[in-house]
Amino acid sequence: MAEPKKLLRSLAGEVQAVPPIWMMRQAGRYLPEYRATREQAGDFLSLCYTPDLAAEVTLQPIRRFGFDAAILFADILLIPDALGADLWFVTGEGPRLSTTTTPEDFGKLKHADAIHDHLAPVYETLRILRRELPDDTALIGFAGAPWTVATYMIAGRGTPDQGPAHALKAENRQLFNALIGRLTNATIEYLSAQIDAGAEVVKLFDSWAGSLKGADFDNYALEPARQIIAALKARHPGVPVIAFPREAGDKYIGFAKASGADCVALDNSVSAEWAAENVQVDGCVQGNLAPGHMVTGGQDLVDEVRRIRSAFSGGAHIFNLGHGITPDADPDNVSLMIETLRETAR
Ligand code: CP3
């Protein structure tokens, strides 16, 4: 039997001399081949919902760089779209959605198990990818965590401080809780269907977890993650889950144990040395090179890759950026990161 894939070995807790590597937003605008396919699709959502093209852009960074994992090309906002909120993307600005702030808005949302017809193209993309990926490349599915998705649904767009979502939480806790509950259930259904379609690992992106403080973090970042992971583990034992409570700071400590996640992804606001001591003691971690190095490159990039790798060398580790690569990044710096990692770690 073939050896388990490199990514899955780290997720099972194995300490590897050369850790697996992939990159958040590895399919994206910094790649000319992505920009060409996106143009062919017309707009971003058509790209997400056209399986052949979504599979193509997922494969592009695998062909170019030979990453150890491919992440499904889709977006965390496909869930509100599938629940019946209107979603569109304004080029150069980002997402726009119809807002969900009143009981009437909430009443119009579909039930959690009614999302699959709308999301069928995403599942088809995963089936294509399982056929087309190299044998040693793991396939990662993903969803946004309930809090992060709710911040976009409540504000109707991205916000610097998630103000509208915090306001609804303060003003109508019952409605806010109902929205988090609906998203929790929809996310379980969505990720479970992704696994049925071929995802070997799933990742939960809680990009705005850092704006939840104290009990709010426990109730709205940790608890939904715990519920989602428990349901997935019951339905799909053995499928690993990566949790990314971005900018959780001290709340990264114990998050894997409390949520049931197999791996915690770290953003670059925490140091690798601190995280090795406080987070990696509980199991595999992913991260956490600052994405800016993909723009600036040079010796700083090389030094940082070596420092992070060395800090995490005592335990299971998946090398990644601390957040998504940006459109102004230079693909040559991505190659330099991969070469440095694969050389140094020997
Ligand atoms: O990582 C990957 O390569 C997989 C695909 C993926 C995308 N978005 C594609 C995308 C993933 C995992 C996401 C997650 C996502 N989407 C998050 C969580 C992770 C994070 O970055 O914090 C969030 C908050 C979103 C919502 C979203 N989608 C925003 C705010 C934007 C606009 C900002 C931007 O970068 O333009 C998007 C658009 C988006 N999603 C793009 C890509 C490649 C760019 C769209 C384009 O091609 O014009």
**Distance of CA 304 from the midpoint of ligand 1 (Å):** 25
Q: Residue 14 burial by CB count (10 A; 0-12/13-18/19+): exposed, middle or buried?
A: middle
pLDDT tens by residue, 131-150: 999 999 999 999 999 999 99
User: How sure is the predictor about 344, in pLDDT bands with cuts at 50, 70 and 90?
Assistant: low
Q: What is the pLDDT of residue 152?
A: 98
Nearest ligand 1 atom to alpha carbon 28: 43
Our answer to whether residue 152 is catalytic in this structure is: yes
**Residue 335 CA to chain centroid, in angstroms?**
22
Query: Distance between CA atoms of 138 and 8, rounded to whole angstroms?
Result: 7
Q: What is the pLDDT of residue 10?
A: 98
Whether the pLDDT of residue 346 is over 90: the answer is no
* Tokens encoding 157: 């767009």
List the Cα angle 202/203/204 in 5-degree steps. Answer: 130
Kindly report the protein residue whose alpha carbon is nearest to atom 35 of ligand 1: 94
Q: What is the pLDDT of residue 324?
A: 98
Question: 254 in ligand 1 pocket by Cβ < 6 Å?
Answer: no
Our answer to whether residue 38 is catalytic in this structure is: yes
Kindly report the protein residue whose alpha carbon is nearest to atom 1 of ligand 1: 25
pLDDT tens by residue, 257-294: 999 999 999 999 999 999 999 999 999 999 999 999 99
Number of separate domains in the chain: 1
Whether the pLDDT of residue 1 is over 90: the answer is no
Please list the alpha-helical segments (H only) found in the chain.
6-11, 32-41, 44-49, 51-65, 78-83, 103-108, 116-132, 146-155, 163-171, 173-196, 215-217, 223-235, 255-259, 272-278, 293-296, 298-311, 331-344
Query: Do residues 208 and 246 make contact, with C-beta atoms less than 8 angstroms apart?
Result: yes
**In-domain check, residue 301:** yes
- Identify residue 343 by its one-letter amino acid code: E
**In-domain check, residue 1:** no
Q: Which domain holds residue 187?
A: 6-345
Question: 94 in ligand 1 pocket by Cβ < 6 Å?
Answer: yes
Q: Residue 15 burial by CB count (10 A; 0-12/13-18/19+): exposed, middle or buried?
A: middle
For residue 330, give the 3-state DSSP assignment.
coil
Query: Distance between CA atoms of 140 and 8, rounded to whole angstroms?
Result: 10
**In-domain check, residue 259:** yes
18 DSSP 8-state letter: S
pLDDT tens by residue, 68-86: 999 999 999 999 999 999 9
Whether the pLDDT of residue 345 is over 60: the answer is no
Best residue for ligand 1 mutational test, from 22, 23, 25, 187 (most atoms within 8 Å of Cβ):
25
**Distance of CA 76 from the midpoint of ligand 1 (Å):** 7
**Distance of CA 192 from the midpoint of ligand 1 (Å):** 21
CA-wise closest residue to 206 among 159, 168, 243: 243
**In-domain check, residue 79:** yes
Average pLDDT, the chain: 97
Question: 4 in ligand 1 pocket by Cβ < 6 Å?
Answer: no
Our answer to whether residue 182 is catalytic in this structure is: no
Q: Which residues contact 101 (CB under 8 A, 6 or more apart)?
A: 154, 164, 168, 175
Query: Do residues 50 and 70 make contact, with C-beta atoms less than 8 angstroms apart?
Result: no
Average pLDDT over residues 50-65: 98
Q: Which of 64, 75, 130, 157 is catalytic?
A: 75
pLDDT tens by residue, 171-197: 999 999 999 999 999 999 999 999 999
User: How sure is the predictor about 92, in pLDDT bands with cuts at 50, 70 and 90?
Assistant: confident
Question: 155 in ligand 1 pocket by Cβ < 6 Å?
Answer: no
Paired with 70 in beta bridges are 139
**In-domain check, residue 285:** yes
* Tokens encoding 99: 């807002």
Q: What is the CATH number of the domain that holds 66?
A: 3.20.20.210
Judging by DSSP bridges, how do beta strands 263-265 and 241-245 pair with one another?
parallel
Q: Residue 115 burial by CB count (10 A; 0-12/13-18/19+): exposed, middle or buried?
A: buried
pLDDT tens by residue, 100-142: 999 999 999 999 999 999 999 999 999 999 999 999 999 999 9
Query: Distance between CA atoms of 235 and 245, rounded to whole angstroms?
Result: 23
CA atoms within 13 A on the CB side of 223: 12
- Phi, psi of 123, rounded to the nearest 5 degrees: -65, -35
Query: Do residues 14 and 316 make contact, with C-beta atoms less than 8 angstroms apart?
Result: yes
Question: 77 in ligand 1 pocket by Cβ < 6 Å?
Answer: yes
**In-domain check, residue 33:** yes
